[in-house]
């Protein structure tokens, strides 16, 4: 991939130990009758009934645990495992207050959701609302009102803002709920609490609205179902997720453009590249272009636009870029950064018309320097980074470039055991 990074080292303060007694992590949890993801409810009756997987039809709304006041649930959704039990399976006690949000597609596999919940708990994230992984309405992870409530309940104060808001998965549906959330108030509350929102793909709509209305940063990062629920999560993606969560001065070095296109230079510019500093924003190209002209697309003076996508042919990529160009979105920006444009394929009319051709055309249109090869998007190895934060880009001496990110909330490193994110079932 041509990415140069400092070697990631295990946390020196980690309290984890290796699995003992011949049991793996999941076997041990089952032996003691505890699920680290959904935990054990301390009471039966209504709590047990609400744990069921609700599927909504029409206007008939079924309650989930998220509909209950926080006070009724406090203590019931956390893991009942002791520190001694956790360390025996290579886990640490989950202490990082975490809430999930499911703004888009429904999760397709209960087993995969549970595996992901087990892993994040093992890594130190105390998930307060695991039941939302069971929600479904049509193709979505709940009705529009349910999915909007993942955010609006925090904005109104009905539920206290956590340290981490972790997306379940992408797909489609986030745009439907944008008018239903008070993003300005949510952004203010998140700033006061130091809350971190993490996700990508369709979650770009949430991230753009949060930045445009609430002036709040977020993380372009892996999500619960799509990464941590894999049979074998990518270790680099997991490590870099923890890196951006814990490092207040994230640095990423790029040496080539192969993640975007092997036919491009890392830096496409008509002049000697200069060091630039601005707010980096954007995300998935399909979503960003769909928001053009709306109040939910950020207006960042002197910004740096980041774009990635998957499964879009070159002509469709160019069409969306022209949407942004004709809408004046690139005016006043300092640069464009491209991540992965995966699965673009070949043009059926002329194979020479490819991603590189499209990006060169964009450079001619805008006159902006274009940096390609950012290792993030719908690819195996994702290097998470902040959106809506300060970013400095500078060229190196061998044709590559460096990005340095600052001014975003973080979590204490000793609260996370990164190996928990890829523990096998």
Residues noted as catalytic:
201, 308, 378
Between CA 243 and CA 7 the distance in angstroms is: 11
CA nearest 373: which of 237, 285, 254?
254
CA nearest 201: which of 171, 178, 225?
171
- The DSSP symbol for 55 reads B
CA nearest 189: which of 216, 213, 166, 149?
216
Strand (E) or helix (H) holding 150: helix 144-156
Q: What share of the chain is helix, strand, coil (3-state, %, to 5)?
A: 35, 20, 50
- The DSSP symbol for 140 reads B
Q: Would the CA dihedral through 90, 252, 225, 215 be positive or negative?
A: positive
The helix/strand/coil state of 218 is strand
Strand (E) or helix (H) holding 192: helix 183-193
- Residue 345: left (phi > 0), alpha (psi -120 to 50), or beta? left
Contacts of 298 (CB under 8 A, 6+ apart): 208, 211, 212, 281, 388
CA dihedral 321, 324, 330, 331 (to 10 degrees): 140
The neighbour count for residue 262, using CB atoms within 10 Å, is: 13
Contacts of 415 (CB under 8 A, 6+ apart): 92, 95, 96, 124
Burial of 246 (0-12, 13-18, 19+ CB in 10 A): middle
Angle at the Cα of 397 from the Cα atoms of 277 and 365, rounded to 5 degrees: 55
The neighbour count for residue 290, using CB atoms within 10 Å, is: 17
**For residue 421, what are its two tokens?**
């994110």
Q: Evaluate whether 282 touches 307 at the Cβ level (below 8 Å).
A: yes
């Amino acid at each position: 991939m041509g990415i140069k990074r400092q070697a990631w080292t295990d946390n020196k303060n980690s309290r984890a130990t290796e699995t003992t007694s011949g049991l793996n992590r999941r076997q041990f949890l089952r032996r003691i009758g505890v699920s680290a993801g959904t935990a054990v409810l301390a009471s039966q009756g209504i709590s047990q009934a609400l744990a069921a997987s609700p599927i909504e039809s029409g206007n008939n709304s079924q309650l989930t645990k998220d509909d209950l006041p926080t006070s009724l649930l406090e203590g019931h959704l956390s893991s009942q495992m002791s520190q001694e039990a956790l360390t025996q399976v290579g886990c640490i006690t989950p202490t990082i207050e975490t809430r999930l949000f499911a703004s888009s597609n429904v999760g397709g596999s209960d087993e995969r959701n549970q595996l992901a919940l087990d892993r994040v708990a093992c890594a130190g994230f105390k998930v307060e609302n695991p039941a939302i992984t069971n929600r479904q309405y049509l193709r979505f992870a709940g009705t529009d009102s349910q999915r909007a409530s993942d955010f609006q309940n925090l904005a109104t104060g009905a539920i206290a803002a956590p340290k981490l808001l972790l997306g379940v998965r992408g797909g489609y549906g986030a745009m439907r709920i944008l008018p239903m959330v008070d993003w300005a108030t949510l952004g203010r509350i998140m700033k006061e609490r130091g809350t971190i929102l993490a996700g990508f793909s369709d979650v770009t709509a949430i991230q753009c609205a949060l930045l445009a209305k609430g002036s709040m940063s977020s993380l372009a990062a892996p999500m619960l179902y799509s990464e941590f629920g894999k049979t074998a999560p990518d270790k680099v993606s997991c490590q870099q997720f923890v890196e951006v969560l814990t490092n207040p001065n994230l640095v990423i070095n790029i040496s080539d453009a192969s993640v975007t296109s092997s036919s491009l230079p890392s830096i496409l510019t008509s002049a000697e590249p200069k060091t630039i500093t601005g707010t980096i924003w954007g995300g998935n190209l399909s979503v960003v272009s769909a928001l053009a002209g709306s109040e939910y697309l950020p207006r960042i003076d002197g910004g740096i636009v980041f774009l990635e996508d998957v499964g879009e042919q070159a002509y469709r990529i160019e069409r969306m870029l022209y949407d942004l160009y004709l809408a004046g979105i690139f005016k006043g920006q300092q640069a464009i950064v491209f991540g992965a444009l995966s699965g673009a394929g070949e043009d059926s009319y002329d194979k020479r018309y490819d991603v590189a051709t499209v990006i060169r055309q964009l450079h001619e249109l805008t006159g902006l320097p274009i940096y390609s090869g950012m290792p993030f998007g719908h690819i195996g190895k994702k290097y998470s980074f902040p959106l809506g934060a300060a970013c400095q880009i500078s060229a190196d001496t061998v044709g590559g470039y460096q990005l340095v990110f600052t001014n975003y909330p973080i979590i204490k490193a000793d609260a996370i055991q990164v190996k928990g994110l890829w523990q096998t079932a």
